[in-house]
Chain A
C-alpha cells in the first residue's frame, strides 16, 4: 500500500501514529536512524528504512537495541540528529547505556523512541510502563496523544534535546502508535547526515570526581526544562457541546516549549489531569456526558512542572488523574497536594492499573466521579446501552466460538521443526521458547514452550535447569533472537562446562513476526553454524522442510554430550510467497488421495496445517491455503501427493 508519508507540506493526510513519527523525524532533518524492530514500534523503522536512500539519511537495523542506542549516540555526539527506535523491552536492553548517555549529554538531538504495549497485543511478556525510565535516567519525556501530536512531538523532541543538550524519550502506547488519524503535514527539513566528533574529556571521561559534576549538571538541566515550561490558558469554551479543543497559545507566551502541556479551562471545581491516548477518551466522555471540566493535558510527562500542577489544582475540590498503567502522574500530583491542600485526588482507586483503557472505561469513571461529587446528573441516556448489561449479552453470544489464536502460516518451517523435535524427543522433554514467531509453538497442537521469557533467555534458562536436574531440556530460538541476545548465552555453555541442553536455532532468514525486517543472517555471509561452532558448540544443520534431514540431525545430536546446536534452516514461507507473487509464480499444491491414510497419519491433530480441512466427513487440503512446503506428503506419502 502506498503511504502518504512523503506528501507535500500543508496537506492533510491519514497516517498511522508510527508513520507520523517517521514524518516528524524527516521534518526535523534526522541524519541517522537506528532500530531494532518490535511491536508496536516497528512501523517507524519500516517507514524510514524505505526512505533513507532517497532522502539522504543513514538507516540501520542494529543487532539489538543497546547497539542501536550506542550507534545513535555516537552519531549525535558527532553533531548529527539521531533517532533510535524500539519496543518497551528493547529499552530494558538499551538502558545500560542510556543512563551514562544522560550524564554525558548530547550535541545534536538524540531522540529515543519507545512504544509500550498495555494489554499485550504484541508478543509481549509484561505490561511494562517505560515512563519509569525517564525518571531513572533523568531525561525529559514527551507523550503524544494522537498521530498529529506524534508528528509535532517528534520534531519538538529534537529541539528540546538540543536546547538542553540531553537525550529525550518519546514514548507511546499501542493505541497511539497503531492509531490512524488526520495529520496536517509540515515542511521537510534539510537533512545533515555528516558530522565530526570533538574530543571533550570533561564530558566523556565519566569517572569520579568529574562524574559528580556531570550528575549535578544533569539535575540542573532537568530543573531548567521544568521552569522554562509555561502553560498557556485557553479562553473558556462557549458551551460543553461546542467545546473548542483546538489549542491556541496565548499572545506573548514565553517560549517555544509551551506546546507540550495544554490547560483547557472549563466549568466547576472538579479537574482532570491526563496524558497520552487517555486524553482522547476523556474528550469523548465529556462530550457524551455534557460536562465541561477544566483539563490539564500533559505532553511533557517528565519532568512534571510543580508550578503547573499547583496552579491547576489550587481552586479544585477534586482532581481525577487519567493515565494508563502505573500512577506516575498521580504520584507527582499527590506530591504537590500533600503540601496543605484540601483537594481530593482520584486515580488508581477508581481506574484500573492493569490492561489498556477503553473509551467505555473512561466514560464510566467520569460519570461515577461527576455524579458522586454532585456536579452532574447521569447522562447515560446520551448513550445507547448499559455497558454491564450489554457485556453479559455479548458473553452469551460469543461463548463456545472456536478461538482464533495466533497460528503458524501454512508451510511455516517452524511447524516442521517442532514436529520433528517432538517425534525424536517426545512429550516429556522440557521445551523452552523464545520471542518472535518461535513462540507460536506455545499453542496447540505442539504446546512446546514450557517457558517464554524474553529475547534469548531460553538458552540460559535451559542451562539453569540442566545445572540442577537431569531433565532433558531443549531451547528454541529464532535467528534474529540468536544474534540479538542468544550468542552470549550459548558461549556460557562452553565457558561453564555445561552438560548442555540442545539449542534449536530456527533460522527462517528474517525477523518475521514484526514484518520481515532483515537481520545479520539475512542474505549474508554470516552463518549461524559458524558462530555457534566458534562459541564452542557441536553443530548440525538441517533443512527445515525435510523431515528426514531434521530427524537424522536430531538423532545424532541426542547422543552428543556438551554444547550442541541444531540449525534448522528454511525460509519464512510468507516471505517466499511474497517473492513468488512478485515474479508471478505460485506454489505447486498437494492433495489428499487417501482419506484413511491421512486419518491414520494424525496430521490433522499433530501437524495442524491451516490448509487441512474436514468437510462433510472428508479430509481435503485447501488449494488456496497450501503453500507447497511438501512436509505433510513426507509424513504421509501414501495419502498425500502433489496435485
Chain B
C-alpha cells in the first residue's frame, strides 16, 4: 500500500453504466488496499443523458469523511467525455489536478437546439489548462471500437491509461482484482482493455 493522506477522484461522463462501473472499480481497489473509502453516485433523472459527476475519495479514516469532494480539491479528473471535463473544473486546481480525458465528443442535442456550438478539442484544452497540473488525452472509446468492436470498453482503457500515466496511487494487482469483482461480464476484454490503456 502506498502511503497517502487522501486522494480525490472526480469521474465524469455522460449517462450510462461506464462511469459508475469505473467508480466502483476504483472504490473496491482502494478498499482492497485497506484505505477508508467515500464517494458519491447520482441516479435517476441525472442519468437520462445528463452529465454525471461521480466521486471516489480514499485515504486514512481520520482524513476522509465527506462523500463529496471539496471545490478545487480533486487530485484526478477522469473524464469519459471531453466536454464534461470542462464542467469538472469546479473541482480542479492548477496546483495538483491531473486531467485524463477521452477525446471523443458526445454532442448533446441541446447544442443544436439551443445553438450553443460544441467546442473544439483545442478550445477544451484551453478552458481546462488554468485548472490543470497536467492534461493527458486518450482516444479510449475509438480504440475500444477498433480493438474490441464496442466502445463500451473505453472506460477500462481510460482507467488503464490513468494508471499507466502514474495518476492513480493504487496498485495494479488491486485494480485488476477490483475489475474481476465488478465487471465480470466479458472479463477478459475488460482486463485486456485495461492493459491496453496502461501500456499506451
Give A contacts to B, CB under 8 Å.
1-2, 4, 12-14, 16, 39-40, 42-43, 121-124, 146, 174-175, 178-182, 242-246, 277, 279-281, 283-284, 287, 358-360, 363, 383-385, 387, 390-391, 393-394, 397-398, 400-409, 437, 439-440, 443-445, 513-515, 604-605, 608-610, 612-614, 624
Contact = CB atoms under 8 A, between A and B. Distances in A.
A291 to B, nearest CB: 15
Interface string B37-64: 1111111111011110000100001110
Contact of B48 (A277, A403, A513): A513
21 contacts: A1-B24, A2-B184, A40-B43, A122-B46, A175-B67, A180-B37, A182-B35, A243-B62, A245-B62, A280-B38, A281-B65, A383-B70, A387-B71, A391-B90, A397-B89, A398-B87, A408-B48, A444-B109, A445-B113, A610-B49, A610-B108
B182 A407 contact: no
Nearest to A386: B72
Given A384-B72, A515-B43, A608 B113 contact: yes
Contacts of A279: 65
A16 B48 contact: no
Contacts of A244: 62
B86 A398 contact: yes
Contacts of B37: 14, 180-182
A514 B47 CA distance: 10
A444 B112 CA distance: 10
Interface string B3-20: 000000000001001001
B25 to A, nearest CB: 9
B2 interface: no
The 5 closest A-B pairs by CB, nearest first: A39-B44, A179-B67, A402-B111, A407-B49, A402-B116
Interface residues of B, number: 69
B139 interface: no
A175 B68 contact: yes
B21 to A, nearest CB: 6
Given A398-B87, A604-B112, 15 more contacts: A2-B181, A4-B181, A39-B43, A40-B44, A42-B44, A121-B46, A246-B61, A277-B66, A360-B71, A397-B127, A403-B116, A404-B108, A407-B110, A610-B109, A624-B151
Contact of B70 (A39, A363, A514): A363
Nearest to B44: A39
Contacts of B96: 384
B114 interface: yes
Contacts of A612: 109
Given A179-B38, A408-B48, A281 B66 contact: yes
Contact of A181 (B38, B89, B110): B38
B89 A277 contact: no
Interface string B117-136: 11100000001101100000
A403 B38 contact: no
A585 to B, nearest CB: 14
B172 interface: no
Contact of B130 (A179, A383, A393, A409): A393
Contacts of B49: 404, 406-409, 610
Contact of A390 (B62, B68, B71, B116): B71
B83 A401 contact: yes
Given A393-B130, A608-B109, A179 B151 contact: no
Contacts of B110: 402-405, 407, 443-444
A624 B107 CA distance: 13
B27 interface: yes
A175 B65 contact: no
A245 B44 contact: no
Contacts of A605: 112-113
B183 interface: yes
Nearest to B21: A1
Contacts of A39: 43-45
B68 A387 contact: no
Contacts of B90: 391, 394, 398
A402 B39 contact: no
Given A123-B45, A513-B44, A181 B39 contact: yes
A400 B43 contact: no
Given A242-B62, A283-B65, A401-B119, A14 B27 contact: yes
A2 B182 contact: yes
Contacts of A403: 108, 110, 114, 116
A179 B44 contact: no
B69 interface: yes
Contacts of A515: 43-44
B117 to A, nearest CB: 7
Contacts of B67: 146, 175, 179-181, 277, 280
Nearest to B50: A406
B31 interface: yes
Contacts of B20: 1
Contacts of B73: 359, 383-384
A121 B93 contact: no
A394 B38 contact: no
A43 B182 contact: no
A614 B108 CA distance: 12
Contacts of B114: 402-403, 444
A302 B108 CA distance: 45
A273 B29 CA distance: 35
B36 A358 contact: no
A436 B109 CA distance: 20
Interface in B143-175: 151
A28 B111 CA distance: 50
A401 B86 contact: yes
B48 A407 contact: yes
A227 B124 CA distance: 60
A406 B109 CA distance: 10
B95 interface: yes
A116 to B, nearest CB: 14
Contacts of B93: 384-385, 390
B86 A179 contact: no
A444 B119 CA distance: 21
Contacts of B63: 287
Contacts of A360: 70-71
A179 B118 contact: no
A367 B103 CA distance: 40
B50 A404 contact: yes
B50 A405 contact: yes
A286 to B, nearest CB: 10
A122 B44 contact: yes
A362 to B, nearest CB: 9
Given A180-B37, A407-B48, A437-B48, A397 B131 contact: yes
A393 B130 CA distance: 9
Contacts of A439: 45
Given A14-B37, A180-B37, A397 B130 contact: yes
